[in-house]
Structure 1
């Protein structure tokens, strides 16, 4: 892996960051200010601990990622850390406001006015020696900067807070929170000297960051994926968005791109966007890993037209991406035949096939896409659910198939099957593995057990409602002593969740028999409307009868979960 070219990595304080005429810019399209009272409270409590304990103690604020400007060694773009830096600057504004109130009350007026000027120049805005104009040390994004500069830095209350955007309301509420919190520190607000000491010694010098300076967006993205820090404020998705938006020249194109981006992220959700993007890029690229997403996009998208083409494609696939994880999605309203197969993808948690399904939906006929969905479900059930083989091998193969469909080398589901034949578990192995299949009937696996029993039952009669029956454990989960006549302790533990020990049963019959003896259960089973259950007629329920039943179910399962393109093989008893 290529070494990340870091310009500087060091421990630094808020005071060191903000001093010496440095200017920090939030990229125009980076997300708005979003911290809430919970975040402010956590930070304030940490500061109070510093204020009341050992003066030499410090508090670690996490990593801050900065991109150095090529134009000036004192200008930086904030890649990650804007929420923390903006909040600390608001805290400085709150301290300066308290000193202003002392000035308004003529308390040490001249001294406090001088303190106010020094603190303002040190932490908020500095005067350029050439133009003699004040320039803000932190420049927020396009939605927050005007309010930050006009209202917060100038201590000007908004005329109507409800008319502000949500993020600007949060900026003002943050200021009010810290202003109110300072009032409760009686030892601090008693005078300008104490207030200045609190800001310069506690806040500025004892809140510590790991400062990481990077040369460009690609290094920043790599740092992000390497850090993967809990609570990271800027996501790799934001970084990608900022790059794409930087390619648009005119305001009209930019506004359209912003609208399109919002539609995409509203559909797939920000937290799932990297996953979605990875599947999309896998239509044309091999071995796409999360840490390579930004590099692939940067190398292939280098102007506004290409950026729009990418956004168009992402928007085109976004609804399908969500629908593949939800069989009840409106997307399938006109394609109801796909719902049961999408339901299987949900249940089996199939994700490796998404790139193949993306491109097949666009290029296959509706009938062939349905056949492909069925194939994917069957393959996964055999390979992953029953035979428990490594799913990582599937991802590589599906990636190759997706590229072949995209380039036109594969045009139908039969050709897909031929490409995936190596991971299609043979009838012999599948039957053998199913004969030993054991699944817990608790938690998430319970839905899978219901699915398997309903498919086995439907093979014997009409369609079955998965939620309409109770899962009956023939050998009970909490067996009475008489069950130990036929089962050892280890067999009781190992066999209770074997598929051969499970059967569908009407809820009222299930309650009637409880954990009773097998002879009582067997008579009740004959009252059931489920063929799987009525067929349980053995004289005794033993490890041998359980194993025999499961072997019979395995033969049935072999033809239920079979690809339409696989040759039929006769399995001997």
Structure 2
């Protein structure tokens, strides 16, 4: 982003709102949604800054604005805070109005009311001499805001949206808090109220980021999200699609239909997951794109009404499959498919998702299951054991997805063949497996080791075990913290070998505790009595337990593993 398209500065609320500029919340931006919890937090922060012994300033966070002329700004992020601050000002004005009606210093309080209104709520147009509000809310909230709240008149309560009720309740909540504050302070009540607004406006400040168009706004979202600031790029994407329809003067019912369908998808996914879904969907059907370039790509392709609704239909078509990949337990997929997806999740692998979506759309159920299982095998060989870089792997999956979408491949065999370049050979896989170290200090890594050993056990004995069962534990033959009986291992060798796959075995619950940090001579008889064939074999084939025996045993495991995680046609 060039400097001319992007500007950042810190502004107080007074400088932001008291300078004659106009702020608009885009028509299809999110409705007002703050509740009493947020109202209370903000009010406590305000009182903390305006008290004589309080903090000299309170930081309100980022405010992302978009403007082509630096006179009228669209509020891309920060609409809830700006709206609430306007409600606080209106609540104070309502209290000033009440003082005037009660005959308490009416002339002075009328001047205060007029001045505060002009500074923070509206301004006098020098050409038309009409009053205009400085803040315009979205299409669902602005009518109530302008018609009832800004004039400080009667507030009707029936026949309105939930967000409009939230606006009214926020206004009434702050009106009471301002009145209570005024009475507690004592003295001239009008002065107290005016000082409240003036001090607040000087001590609340924002980091204001101004951009010139939607693309730069999206880049701001990406940058801030990378820094841990939670903003909704989903809203920005939504607003762009609505703007396409708005420019083509579409009927209100179509806009409402789009909004309802969009919100349904976001609700099912969660707003933070939506960008990931959109990118996966796009890659599976269109073109490869990085997350940082997604909005730019969509903006370049989705330019008319037909494209908007086609995108919507295709996203809805892919939604169930994507949710089955991210939340397999809740899906209606058969148990075999769920197991494969759960394994991908355990591996923390998402690179195949675009391919899986394409395969789910185009292949029959048998071929789809084969492709999904193939993705698990490749992920285990390439990612879990090989720890190879994922960038090139994702492009291979994308290319295969495109072939499916284009109808160039239509069987599991042809899809898997297109993945050959990311399928490690038996020799490279066995070599990597024979040296693999997986620390078991966290639950995910421990689950992976248990999974591996259960799969090897099934390959050796034919017995199927649930790797998440609590009926057995993970035994480190060389203890994680060895004591007497392990002098054959130097400190360096302990560090290098205790988390080698070859040093770990499955053992029935209770037996593991009994032998704890004991020497191998004590552990061996217990291992021989285990019901796990792989554990018995370890004890049978190793009279003692040394660095050399761990390496040898892990090579034996590697041979078994090459038969478990295998795609026959690629081997």
Does the alignment reach a TM-score above 0.5?
yes
Alignment partner of 2:570 out of 555, 562, 566:
566
Structure 1 partner of 2:190: 192
Q: Summarize deviations over 1:280-336 as a string: whole Å, max 9, x none.
A: 22135544122222221121111222111000001111111111133333330xx44
Scaled by the length of structure 1, what TM-score is found? 0.89
- Secondary structure (helix, strand or coil) at the match of 1:283 reads helix
Structure 1 partner of 2:296: 295
- Relative distance call for 1:452 and 1:9 in structure 2 (3 A) is closer
Q: Summarize deviations over 1:156-178 as a string: whole Å, max 9, x none.
A: 575659x8654344434433454
Contact kept, 8 Å, 2:33 with 2:163, in 1: the verdict is yes
Contact kept, 8 Å, 2:474 with 2:506, in 1: the verdict is yes
Structure 2 partner of 1:483: 486
Alignment partner of 1:497 out of 490, 499, 519:
499
- Relative distance call for 1:189 and 1:86 in structure 2 (3 A) is farther
Matches within 5 A, 1:64-83: 64-68=63-67, 74-83=71-80
Equivalenced residue count is: 559
Matches within 5 A, 1:497-536: 497-535=499-537, 536=539
* Cα distance in 2 between the residues matched to 1:215 and 1:310: 26
- Secondary structure (helix, strand or coil) at the match of 2:292 reads helix
Contact kept, 8 Å, 1:18 with 1:122, in 2: the verdict is yes
Structure 1 partner of 2:30: 31
Contact kept, 8 Å, 1:18 with 1:123, in 2: the verdict is yes
- Relative distance call for 1:58 and 1:325 in structure 2 (3 A) is closer
* Cα distance in 2 between the residues matched to 1:189 and 1:231: 45
Moved more, 121-130 or 91-100: 121-130
Matches within 5 A, 1:318-329: 318-329=319-330
Q: Which runs of 5+ in 1 are unaligned?
A: 568-573
Contact kept, 8 Å, 1:341 with 1:374, in 2: the verdict is yes
- Secondary structure (helix, strand or coil) at the match of 2:303 reads coil
RMSD (CA atoms): 2.8
Structure 1 partner of 2:436: 437
- Relative distance call for 1:284 and 1:550 in structure 2 (3 A) is same
- Relative distance call for 1:56 and 1:129 in structure 2 (3 A) is farther
- Relative distance call for 1:459 and 1:190 in structure 2 (3 A) is farther
Deviation at 1:479, TM superposition (A): 2.5
Deviation at 1:490, TM superposition (A): 2.0
- Relative distance call for 1:517 and 1:223 in structure 2 (3 A) is closer
Moved more, 210-219 or 242-251: 210-219
* Cα distance in 1 between the residues matched to 2:547 and 2:209: 63
Structure 2 partner of 1:571: none
* Cα distance in 2 between the residues matched to 1:389 and 1:8: 40
Q: Summarize deviations over 1:350-380 as a string: whole Å, max 9, x none.
A: 2111111111111122211111111111111
Scaled by the length of structure 2, what TM-score is found? 0.89
- Relative distance call for 1:399 and 1:318 in structure 2 (3 A) is same
Deviation at 1:184, TM superposition (A): 3.5
- Relative distance call for 1:157 and 1:331 in structure 2 (3 A) is farther
Moved more, 104-113 or 370-379: 104-113
Structure 1 partner of 2:114: 117
Structure 1 partner of 2:2: 3
* Cα distance in 2 between the residues matched to 1:352 and 1:531: 35
* Cα distance in 1 between the residues matched to 2:15 and 2:202: 8
- Relative distance call for 1:520 and 1:11 in structure 2 (3 A) is closer
* Cα distance in 2 between the residues matched to 1:528 and 1:212: 64
- Relative distance call for 1:435 and 1:74 in structure 2 (3 A) is closer
* Cα distance in 1 between the residues matched to 2:72 and 2:486: 77
- Secondary structure (helix, strand or coil) at the match of 1:483 reads coil
Counterpart check, 1:455 vs 2:452: no
* Cα distance in 2 between the residues matched to 1:326 and 1:210: 37
Q: Which runs of 5+ in 2 are unaligned?
A: none
Matches within 5 A, 1:236-255: 236-248=233-245, 249-255=250-256
* Cα distance in 2 between the residues matched to 1:544 and 1:54: 70
- Relative distance call for 1:503 and 1:156 in structure 2 (3 A) is farther
- Relative distance call for 1:229 and 1:354 in structure 2 (3 A) is closer
- Secondary structure (helix, strand or coil) at the match of 1:331 reads coil
Moved more, 537-546 or 130-139: 130-139
* Cα distance in 1 between the residues matched to 2:409 and 2:421: 17
Moved more, 48-57 or 184-193: 48-57
Alignment partner of 1:556 out of 537, 554, 560:
560
Alignment partner of 2:132 out of 116, 135, 140:
135
* Cα distance in 1 between the residues matched to 2:561 and 2:210: 58
Contact kept, 8 Å, 1:487 with 1:542, in 2: the verdict is yes
Structure 2 partner of 1:331: 332
Contact kept, 8 Å, 2:14 with 2:201, in 1: the verdict is yes
Matches within 5 A, 1:392-403: 392-403=391-402
Structure 1 partner of 2:316: 315
- Relative distance call for 1:11 and 1:519 in structure 2 (3 A) is closer
